[in-house]
Amino acid sequence: MLRQYELVDRVLSYDPEADEALLNRAYVFSLQAHGSQKRASGDPYFSHPIEVAGILTDLHLDDETIATAILHDTIEDTVATPEQIQKLFGDNVARMVDGVTKLSKIEAQTESERAAENLRKFLLAMSDDIRVLLVKLADRLHNMRTLHHIPNPDKRKRIARETMDIYAPLAERIGMYEFMKEMQTLAFAQLEPEAYQSIQKRLDQLQEGGDRIAKIGSGVKLLLSRHGVDADISGREKHPYSIWKKMQERHISFEQLSDVMAFRAIVPTEEDCYRAMGVIHRRWPFVPGRFKDYISTPKRNGYRSLHTSIMHAGDTRVEIQIRTGEMHAEAEYGLAAHWAYKTGKVRADGQHSWITDLVEILETAETPEELLEHTRMAMYQDRIFAFTPKGELHQLPKGATPIDFAYAVHTDLGDQAVGAKINGRHVPLRTVIENGDQVQILRSKAQSPQPNWLNFAITGKARAAIRRHLRAIERKETLTLGRKLYDEIVDRLPAPLSVDAVKTALKKLQLTDEDALIEAVARRRITDAELMEALMPGSASTDAGRALPQQSSAISITGLTPGVAYKLDTICHPVPGDRIVGLRRPDQEIEVHRIDCPVLANSDDVDWVDLAWGDKSEGGLARIEVTLKNEPGALGTVSTIIGQHRANIINIRFDTSDTGFHTNQIDLEVRDAAHLEKLMAALRAADAVNAVTRV
């Protein structure tokens, strides 16, 4: 453990103007606060915050950050209070300690809720001052270094999995690759101990025949020197987790993996990077597809370097990275490398706009699981570059669509998107954007986010915005439908209600207001009988042979959006004009079925609701089964008839076949049941069609 004077001397060595008194006060306060507390290893607990502070001195962080590291567990694990921290160490340190403190143990039902809740707290703090994240990552790194002292194997695996899923990717996301690699290696040893030991054993065997890395490295250095390039060469084996991940992705053995060695050339200038690359490629053949220029096109986290792989000595594939000293500092320590002492700011060049996006997601996510889904999407996926028509560059995850692009530009543009052009060509909104595409979003003020956008939007920002809008629409339509159900139930009462009947019912049902009552009716959180009894005691009684009054009229679903307040069944595919009935299950949308749907046969324990489409209902998805003669042009005939009847084919699936006939299932967009019947009659009249039935 670092002594007090050793820690202070470390900080003063790179920042002579550091507040020495602040560091000394923090050291003494933390030592006294933690007192006789012990860690799982048996060491004094105080050793942990000091080692965390020591890790951060390696990054040359400012005195306030080091003080925060020393104090980061005092509020959670001792009797120290936030007010004490603020009084003794100032507003900045108090705010950062509060941000990085794990707080009290979260009461959560699931692992994902607990992980997401922790993620929410420190990300929100980090967005205010990025130093909070640096302290948190150093805290996790030291905990991983001492993880083997925890006796409970399940707890070790849980911490290792959380590190692999959240903290290591966060370190990578802000360019702190050394933190990421060490976290991954330590977590991998816990999660896959046999694989880790096997790979480590193979790496040790590679060194038995002499130091191949040193020999190859000296050869590269000599080659560059002869061509006038002064380079500092260092080599290493890839860390075990990186090797294992590549073996898993490519389904190959260790022996088949040919690039376990990697070298780094540090050169004086950016021009020397390209000169060195040319010299190396003239000497050894490079592996096609393995050259990456992150200098002209940096990664989203600011990483800059040249990458290539060469065939050394004819049979050894070697990875080489070429960069300047400044690029190397940023590559190893990311944000920490360009922390500006005393300014309280990081480089404001737009590299870290992802933090702003995450904060927006944090504020709109409804559940912890949804939060974790969005933040993982925002942080962990590979990126592509796409341009607006004016040439503005936007970085997106690989697999992103125009919807993701629209929301990346502006939330209003995403909400109003009706179409897109990619490289001047009209495309559907679900089209995947390729690297370097120019994307133009077509908009309309009459448009609003659609439920099916969630099927192809992949960025956290887009999905959060869509869900936020859909939740508002869902509540509005749920209240509309609930009001219709409520009015129908009230009509079944034996007498009109008094003025105070609803207020009395709310108290009996323990609901806050009338909207909560209406929503409970729509979501079947209360039954019809419970509502009737609450409104008018005795009205739902079945004593003396009196049966519960039945629904008297069909409830219209006109004006409501399928998939929001109600959902159309995907087995019977009802369309306007069909006789329909609804199934009302607790805390779910009402399911709409055709009256002859087979699902209804097993629904005796579910509330049935008599529904009607309404006069202006139009448009639905129907499924038909068509048996065709097995002859050329038969399917073309069917497509022609469908097109002539102004129906739209959504999907065709080949079902069965025999010698003379084959059967296809076709999903169609039709206006209503009458439109569908007319179309089916036309198909039956065609010579190529043997039979047509509705599925």
User: Which residues belong to the active site?
Assistant: 76-77
CB distance 91 to 101 below 8 Å: no
Calculate the alpha carbon distances from 592 to 118, 297, 578, 663, 667 in Å: 40, 52, 11, 28, 18
Look at strands 316-324 and 261-267 and give their pairing: parallel
Q: List all residues 6 or more positions away from 571 whose beta carbon is below 8 Å from its beta carbon.
A: 593, 597, 598, 599
Go through 439-453 and write b for each residue having 16 or more CB atoms within 10 A of its CB, e for each that does not.
bbbebeeeeebbbeb
Q: Which two tokens stand for residue 509?
A: 């049902």
CB distance 49 to 143 below 8 Å: no
- The Cα diameter of the chain in Å comes to 107
Q: Edge-to-edge strands of the sheet including 580-584?
A: 555-556, 607-612, 580-584, 590-594, 566-568
Q: DSSP for 342-393, please give it.
A: TT-----SSTTHHHHHHHHHHHH--SHHHHHHHHHHHHHS-EEEEE-TT--E
Can you state the angle between helices 460-491 and 514-522, rounded to 10 degrees?
90
Q: What SS3 state is found at 18?
A: coil
Q: What is the C-alpha separation between 128 and 12, in angstroms, rounded?
A: 26
Amino acid identity, residue 186?
L
Residue with token string 């702190």: 176
Residue with token string 């341009």: 387
Q: What is the C-alpha separation between 632 and 226, in angstroms, rounded?
A: 71
Tell me which H or E stretch contains 155. Answer: helix 153-162
Q: What is the C-alpha separation between 14 and 5, in angstroms, rounded?
A: 15
Q: List all residues 6 or more positions away from 502 whose beta carbon is below 8 Å from its beta carbon.
A: 514, 517, 535
Nearest to 376 by CA among 660, 609, 170, 539: 170
Q: Which two tokens stand for residue 397?
A: 């995850």
Q: What is the C-alpha separation between 343 and 284, in angstroms, rounded?
A: 47
Q: List all residues 6 or more positions away from 424 whose beta carbon is below 8 Å from its beta carbon.
A: 438, 440
Nearest to 644 by CA among 654, 636, 656, 652: 636
